[in-house]
Structure 1
């Protein structure tokens, strides 16, 4: 666990400090906010268990321990400000299935958003409810929560029978903090149990999974009060008054709030571990046949569309691990700007893909290698492969009627100016690299807490340090390259299964 205090925070002071807590896959982050002034942050890491290929799980008790560590750190460094906190906002990674029994005990590790085991159950669910896509605005994908419950019902029937309630990760954390089962609209949109246009649970979809509304948390808007901190925690951290807890948001919606992307037409590109191309919309605008996610936003009567990549900056991390080098040294081998496509291809489907393919089983690949292929060329191909996948997402959103001309750019991968530059030309849009997007969903959660506390709903836009514009000559070259790259999915989507493993003593015919 580590904490930090900004060296030169600026901004007005609000009526009372608020706290944002982001339950991320790799760690919990807590952020203390006073008006527009970030007073301090704390972070505690988390690990992911992968007991079988394609599986991804976490222990909810680890989430709680990390949350406690973060608040302990903040109260140690900022005791006066933390004790004055009047509201807490929550953000969290989406889609996870957390099963609890009637006593509130967790029945099994949470199955996470990038777990691919429930692909067969997706087909079963769509067959059982032909109107699923019309109700949810989304195709059934293994990442969503409902197929996970079908997998548990089939493979772990004893646990399914003992289940009293199923909660998303953020809702489980709220339950520990408040003792109430409550969820916001944006996070609930990723379950495949929400009627997204009407912003309410769908009885038909719940019944298809052997559930009803009694097993689900109460729904609220992300800007609404949604519980109060329980007395033991008020005492533990010394709050002067019992803080309210805001509805909060799923991680991407919370990130959008942090960016002020709450009005129709606002857009951002997140170049994080996974990748997101986001567009805020005034209405529910589904395009499930294109692999577009159409969810509720965390602010009332607002929705959004997303194109989602499962491996964005994670692709560069994987390549760095393969080469035995760190990411920065790999990037240092490349020029400041690309003057054309790399001579080889990379497909970033290391964990399957969502937009536009909705294919949990497809895997990544390098193609068109030669004896003269160099490591820097392969590194550039990795950057371009992710950019090509974002272009697929851009085209999917355009097919759904959303055309993006400018977008904010956030995420760890955005630190590479080369990557930002080639993304702008690959997508043919202007990209605003944000001044300080490191606070992300934790800041968005804190801003939602401010709204729940004060009723004010102003969401400031952050400053951009640099704008990357498309370069016409490179746009043309990437247009031509993408026409070829987009055909490569068909080569790998039906690739054979794992290669046979030979012992050293085996004879090879």
Structure 2
């Protein structure tokens, strides 16, 4: 491979609303970036995407990243992340033959009960007690029930980034244990739970091979290189979920540190020495490429409601109008879609307000505040499980473009929050690619070299008591609805003490 200049690492992020790609040097210089939109089909519990658009969007985003300043001849490796729990089926030739069931598609409720009845012991050993209906394995069973000819025709499970990796290398690929976690993969042993799958009538032929994130699974083939604007022969590295990628891209890779990524939904992940066990089945843990564990979860609340409810509003002006209204007595539980997954599991949960808003600005203020209160409850829940929660907190995601929201989150959490420069899941995949293929040695060193700090926000004490009062009121509303366990609420109330 030729071309003058430093080594370049390419990271690709498949999000809900679009694909992003970044090309980054070993010392964190962003040479190029690109983005392409994705569209969804949402109706009730249904959330699907057309898998064919994933590849088209990846080619567009990668092509932009290379055209905007990154010499493709200098790209040394590429890694791809994807939304957690998004699955489809592919045929013998790698073509998608079913829609992409997205991370929050909730139609596999019956299958989830079956999965939990037959695999209860296994899921407890894995650190979570139950699978949720939006997870990959219940959805796989749902797909097999609706495509009864799938096994006979050689179809198999593919996670969202598996689809892209296969297109990149031109042949079948194993899946990574991060994306496969919600499909039942054992991250500690890198195996599928054969007995559970046999009881569920899921044959081994349906399952891809398993590898750890960071494993080289092939090279960019000639056809893919032509479509994406790359050169053939670039190593393709097994990636992770978008939440884990965001964590790597935030630089929060050391034990005790936490990344809170606020995009369409809120995803919180940290680093622990040992596997964290959750008797309530809310928190699950991925395995870090460094060998540590990455506990956390994904809420169904988030900034996705901003585009849905305030699409016609000027967000800068709306934020300016909302800022002096904080803290507001209007409480919102701002679910993007029905059902909650973290910091509690409540399939029947729906968005609510404590009262009607006086105007649009108050409603927007309550939305921002509601997400911040959910974020605080996530930390309280993790603390109750015994996770170290006093380390650094790094904020990432599209919502960090709103400075008022950033400061609000620091105020509500009552702790400093850091905002790194260029932090995004795609950067996390560039970090993973570099740490796996000759970049700065080891994951922590690669993250330290490639993730550049920007600023730290200190919490303000001005409205501390008002936020504590509002937070406790929200806890009471959640308990009253039967969604939040009383023991969790009690622990959270105790932590409001000075």
TM-score range, shorter chain: 0.7 to 0.9
The answer as to whether partners of 2:431 and 2:447 remain within 8 angstroms in 1 is no
Distance in 1 of aligned mates of 2:262 and 2:428: 17
Q: 2:34 aligns with which of 14, 35, 42?
A: 42
The answer as to whether partners of 1:42 and 1:70 remain within 8 angstroms in 2 is yes
Q: 1:247 aligns with which of 238, 245, 250?
A: 238
Q: Aligned with 2:80: secondary structure?
A: strand
How big is each residue's C-alpha offset from its partner over 1:331-365, in whole Å with a ceiling of 9 and x where there is no partner? 12123683xx3122111124121112212331101
Match of 1:503 in 2: none
The answer as to whether partners of 2:15 and 2:82 remain within 8 angstroms in 1 is yes
Q: Aligned with 2:447: secondary structure?
A: coil
Match of 1:7 in 2: none
Match of 1:309 in 2: 299
Distance in 2 of aligned mates of 1:464 and 1:32: 18
Match of 2:474 in 1: 485
Q: Structure 1 residues 413 and 367 mapped into 2: Cα distance closer, same or farther (>3 Å)?
A: same
Distance in 1 of aligned mates of 2:160 and 2:475: 35
How big is each residue's C-alpha offset from its partner over 1:51-73, in whole Å with a ceiling of 9 and x where there is no partner? x3121111111111112223444
Q: Give the 5 Å matches for 1:66-77.
A: 66-77=57-68
Match of 1:295 in 2: 286
Q: Structure 1 residues 270 and 77 mapped into 2: Cα distance closer, same or farther (>3 Å)?
A: closer
The answer as to whether partners of 2:325 and 2:362 remain within 8 angstroms in 1 is no
Distance in 2 of aligned mates of 1:22 and 1:257: 12
Gaps of 5+ in 2: 484-498
How far did residue 235 of structure 1 move? Answer: 5.5
Q: Give the 5 Å matches for 1:45-194.
A: 45-50=37-42, 52-78=43-69, 81-138=71-128, 139-159=130-150, 162=153, 164-178=155-169, 179-191=171-183, 193-194=184-185
Q: Structure 1 residues 421 and 169 mapped into 2: Cα distance closer, same or farther (>3 Å)?
A: same
Match of 1:468 in 2: 457
Q: Structure 1 residues 75 and 460 mapped into 2: Cα distance closer, same or farther (>3 Å)?
A: closer
Q: Structure 1 residues 195 and 454 mapped into 2: Cα distance closer, same or farther (>3 Å)?
A: same
1:359 and 2:343 matched: no
Distance in 2 of aligned mates of 1:239 and 1:277: 33
Q: Aligned with 1:130: secondary structure?
A: helix
1:328 and 2:319 matched: no
Q: 2:446 aligns with which of 459, 463, 466?
A: 459
Distance in 2 of aligned mates of 1:65 and 1:124: 36
How far did residue 76 of structure 1 move? Answer: 4.4
Q: Give the 5 Å matches for 1:271-420.
A: 271-289=262-280, 291-297=282-288, 299-321=289-311, 324-335=312-323, 338=326, 341-351=327-337, 352-369=339-356, 373-405=358-390, 406-420=392-406
How far did residue 451 of structure 1 move? Answer: 2.3
How far did residue 159 of structure 1 move? Answer: 4.6
Select the structure of larger CA radius of gyration. Answer: 1
Tell me the TM-score normalised to structure 1 length: 0.85
How far did residue 93 of structure 1 move? Answer: 1.6
The answer as to whether partners of 1:82 and 1:239 remain within 8 angstroms in 2 is yes
1:426 and 2:426 matched: no
- Tell which deviates more after alignment, 139-148 or 98-107: 98-107
How far did residue 415 of structure 1 move? Answer: 2.4
Distance in 2 of aligned mates of 1:493 and 1:154: 32
Distance in 2 of aligned mates of 1:216 and 1:48: 26
The answer as to whether partners of 1:320 and 1:330 remain within 8 angstroms in 2 is no
Gaps of 5+ in 1: 1-11, 495-509
How far did residue 166 of structure 1 move? Answer: 0.2
The answer as to whether partners of 2:329 and 2:470 remain within 8 angstroms in 1 is no
The answer as to whether partners of 1:258 and 1:447 remain within 8 angstroms in 2 is yes
Q: Give the 5 Å matches for 1:161-240.
A: 162=153, 164-178=155-169, 179-191=171-183, 193-234=184-225
Match of 2:18 in 1: 27
- Tell which deviates more after alignment, 120-129 or 168-177: 120-129
Tell me the TM-score normalised to structure 2 length: 0.87
Q: Aligned with 2:97: secondary structure?
A: coil
- Tell which deviates more after alignment, 411-420 or 137-146: 411-420
How far did residue 153 of structure 1 move? Answer: 3.3
How big is each residue's C-alpha offset from its partner over 1:25-79, in whole Å with a ceiling of 9 and x where there is no partner? 22222222232322111211111112x3121111111111112223444454557
Distance in 2 of aligned mates of 1:334 and 1:158: 55
The answer as to whether partners of 2:272 and 2:388 remain within 8 angstroms in 1 is no
